[in-house]
Amino acid sequence: MKARVRFAPSPTGALHIGGVRTALYNFLLARQTGGTMILRIEDTDQNRYVPGAEEYILESLAWAGIQIDEGVGVGGPHAPYRQSERREIYQQFAKQLVESGHAYFAFDTEEELEAMRSQTPNAQYDGSTRRQMRNSLSLPAEETARLLESGSYVIRLLVEPGEEIILQDIIRGEVRVQSSQLDDKVLMKSDGMPTYHLANVIDDYLMRITHVIRGEEWLPSAPHHVLLYRYFGWEKEMPRFAHLPLLLKPDGNGKLSKRDADRMGFPIFPLNWRDPKSGDVSKGFRENGYLPAAVINFLALLGWNPGTTQELFSMEELIQAFSLDRVNKAGAKFDIHKAQWFNQHYLRALPNEQLAGFLLEETRKANVTCTEEKALQIVAVLRERVTFPQDFWHLGQLFFSPPSQFDPEAVSKRWTADSTRVLVAFQKAVSESKGLTAEEAKSLFEAAASSQGVKPGSALAALRIALTGGMSGPDLMQTMAILGGAETASRLHHALGVLSVKGS
Ligand code: GLU
């Protein structure tokens, strides 16, 4: 069956990375079935509206490679797809519910609602309280008519008692709720806007949605949604529900929050987000150097498993392999190291030309000259050591400037009389070399060592200290080929001048 699915975010701030996962699972099902991926913007709560959030959502999805077939930014047969532009539709349907006796007008003020709630613990607006409240069921008809004319009102769902609501969730299994436990949810607010519940159900119905795939936090709303389908007489067209497991913090239990991410130093938003109120900027996965392919692979496995040991999936492979039946019920721990592991994999899969582009971008930013040829050489020696594109610049520092200091521990252990004699001999030889290659560097170094009666391997650490200041780094012979004979000799000369051999 061709699935018609929708991603229906509210533009209340930056899209959380969990939202990208929700969008992804919808997208995978749409593509797998040859169906349709819809983007609907649920912006009926004017108090929570944040400017820029909608653009941010669109840009995030585009970056992640989640294409929209129908909806905001694309258009389609059910336009408009922004709920704030559909209020007449909701008003009509709300009226229809009132006329069929499934909804009613309520006039209670905030204070009256507060008083009701404080009278009895856990009190809610429902069959046990609605008669004491001010609404079209409790007030005489003339009074209701007068209040409708003059004042502000809301429309509430009339939840009938004694109904059993059974929800077959693809992921959670069967969920049963008695209607007596549900409150008379507000459907239309006094500002003429629908609430999430009403707009969400009407649009899913009108847009012929086949599967509602969304975060677990929306599960508590589902029984009301089922009731609405029943009261509208749309039960046969009801979409199938799939409530995705929560994303959990990496350590301990509980839902992953922005605070956890900040505390542990990883992003939680796909792209940089600048809070329009505070001006604070939160870093995104993109700006942190994550590749879309890595983020997609990582998110796909956060809650879904293929039933095999395969871990690496391209988007195409995910489209083939994905199924809602293999989405786990249990929350998924957000392990950022796994995301880094994927990033490393996808980064290393790129050709050197593209990796060199990353390095050149950084050198330009830093106002450092670097030829394309040099960049290609550098990424070739560093490619197995990087996790993020910007690592080429950080790890590649040694190719642009001589070490500003030498690791004292390394010096005290490996800067020996034997090694320095080798380095002196090598410096002479290498300074004369034009167009130094790695092979040539190696043979010159071996010759220098043997001229001093020293095994080349035992002088390598000192060579590395002289060239890089420390004990670890990329292949030394290739490093020298990139530095060239003159620069290599000059670094050796400097180190031999400033570092002294222990005991001498
Ligand atoms: N507007 C809700 C949100 O922000 C949509 C929930 C749903 O998908 O039904 O996530």
The structure tokens 């991926």 sit at 37
Residue 362 · residue 205 · CB < 8 Å: no
95 CA from centroid of ligand 1 (Å): 24
Instruction: Answer yes or no: is pLDDT of 135 > 70.
Output: yes
Q: How far is the CA of 183 from the centre of ligand 1 (A)?
A: 20
Q: What is the pLDDT of residues 342-380, one digit of tens each?
A: 999 999 999 999 999 999 999 999 999 999 999 999 999
- The DSSP annotation for 313-347 comes to --HHHHHHH--GGGB-SS-EE--HHHHHHHHHHHH
Distance CA 447, CA 433 (A): 14
List pLDDT tens digits, range 425-454.
999 999 989 889 999 999 999 999 999 999
Can 258 be counted among the known catalytic residues? yes
Return the CATH class of domain 1-70+245-349: alpha beta
The confidence score (pLDDT) of residue 237 equals 96
Q: What ranges do the domains of the chain cover?
A: 1-70+245-349, 86-244, 351-389, 402-503
Determine the Cα–Cα distance for residues 430 and 425; give it in Å rounded to an integer.
9
Architecture of domain 86-244: Alpha-Beta Complex (3.90)
What confidence category does residue 251 fall into, taking pLDDT thresholds of 50, 70 and 90? confident
Q: What are the structure tokens assigned to 66, written together?
A: 């989640």
From the number of C-beta atoms within 10 Å of its C-beta (0-12, 13-18, 19+), residue 399 rates as buried
DSSP, collapsed to helix, strand or coil, labels residue 145 as: helix
| Band of residue 501 on the pLDDT scale cut at 50, 70, 90 | confident
Selecting among 189, 255, 258, 338, the annotated active-site residue is 258
Cα distance between residue 210 and residue 26, in whole Å: 11
Cβ of 10 closer than 6 Å to ligand 1, yes or no, is yes
Q: How far apart are CA 161 and CA 225, in angstroms?
A: 16
35-59 pLDDT tens trace: 999 999 999 999 999 999 999 999 9
- Answer whether CATH 3.40.630.30 is correct for domain 402-503: no
Does position 502 have pLDDT exceeding 80, yes or no? no
**Is the CB of 12 inside a 6 Å radius of any atom of ligand 1?**
no
Fold matches, 86-244 and 402-503? no
| Ligand 1 centre distance from Cα of residue 326 (Å) | 22
Q: Using the predicted structure, report yes or no on whether residue 504 has a pLDDT greater than 70.
A: no
Report the nearest-CA residue for atom 5 of ligand 1.
Answer: 8
Judge contact between 105 and 136, C-beta under 8 A.
Answer: yes
